[in-house]
Amino acid sequence: MNPLVQVESLDFEYFYKPPKRSFGLTKKRVLSDINLSLNKSEILVILGKNGCGKSTLLRLLGKIYKPSSGFIKYNGDRSPKLLAPGVGFMNDLTGMENLFFSFSLMTGMLPTQDNIDRIIEYSEIGTRLEEPISIYSSGMRSRLAFATALESSSEVVLIDEALGAGDDSFRRKVNLTYKRKIEEGMSFVVVTHNLNWVKNHATRVLVMDDGKICYDGPTIDGIEHFCELLDP
């Protein structure tokens, strides 16, 4: 079976302005020689210390960044999408306007009536959708953001530390949604530090250290490998 996403010999460098006065920008290698594949109905979790390049790898998979060398091959109908709850949210707009705007940013089109109905039902916002989000509680705001992001996701979803939102019951609802989406054939690449979630949901773990993959395999061994990395 062809993997949905295949990464081969991927390197990535980013540019930064050095602290000393200089007109030029300096390159810094963030990822080197990354090789991985993602199969259908898989939850691949990327573990690693802060600054090891996990989020950068997600953005490369989501075509937000461009690899410096190597390539990423996509076999699915649509490219992977980064789940970005609340992207483009503006305080002066109503919940409905933010729903339209955020959905458009993530998909490039307006939501259909079906999309809107599903988002309203999922977020449990109800009639308050016509109020400006500046008066929403943080829980309501993140429920709307999450419901909109989930509705606009594609068959491969990239999640960067945004596994859940709102209260416990909403988090449980989100976790059930992930399970249902996996059964429907969707795949996830998740960056998280929540090892409990990883233990319960991941089908495979990838551990990164200093821009390189140092482990790719079963979940339990991956968690152990990561713990050793944190506390050698």
Partner 1 sequence: MSTNSVLFMIFFYTKMKIKVELRSSKLGVLWLLLQPILFLAIYYISFRYLLKSKDIASIASCLVGLISYNWFSQTINEGTVSLIGSKGITNSTVVPSYIFIISSSLVCLWRYLFVLTVFLLFVSFHDSSELLTLNLIYLLPVILFAFLVFTSVSFLLAAVYPVFPDIKHIVDSFTKLFLFISCIFYEVKAVPEDVKFYFLLNPLSFLISNLRAIFLGGEFQGFSFVLSSILIFGLVSILGLVLYNRNQFKYNYINTI
Residues of this chain that interact with partner 1 (CB under 8 A) are: 14-17, 23, 25, 56, 59, 62-66, 79, 82, 84, 87-88, 90, 92-93, 97, 100-101, 104-106, 108-110, 132
Q: Which two tokens stand for residue 93?
A: 């707009």
Minimum CB distance to partner 1 smaller for 97 or for 155: 97
Burial of 83 (0-12, 13-18, 19+ CB in 10 A): buried
Minimum CB distance to partner 1 smaller for 109 or for 230: 109
Minimum CB distance to partner 1 smaller for 90 or for 176: 90
DSSP states of 163-178 = ---SSHHHHHHHHHHH
Task: Give the span between the Cα atoms of 154 and 42, in whole angstroms.
Answer: 14
Name the minimum Å distance from CB 25 to partner 1: 6
Minimum CB distance to partner 1 smaller for 55 or for 187: 55
Q: Determine the 3-state secondary structure of 1 from DSSP.
A: coil
Name the minimum Å distance from CB 207 to partner 1: 23
Burial of 158 (0-12, 13-18, 19+ CB in 10 A): buried
Name the minimum Å distance from CB 43 to partner 1: 21
**Cα dihedral 211/212/214/217 (nearest 10):** 100
Task: Give the span between the Cα atoms of 208 and 226, in whole angstroms.
Answer: 8
Name the minimum Å distance from CB 30 to partner 1: 9
Minimum CB distance to partner 1 smaller for 102 or for 205: 102
Q: Determine the 3-state secondary structure of 18 from DSSP.
A: coil
Name the minimum Å distance from CB 52 to partner 1: 15
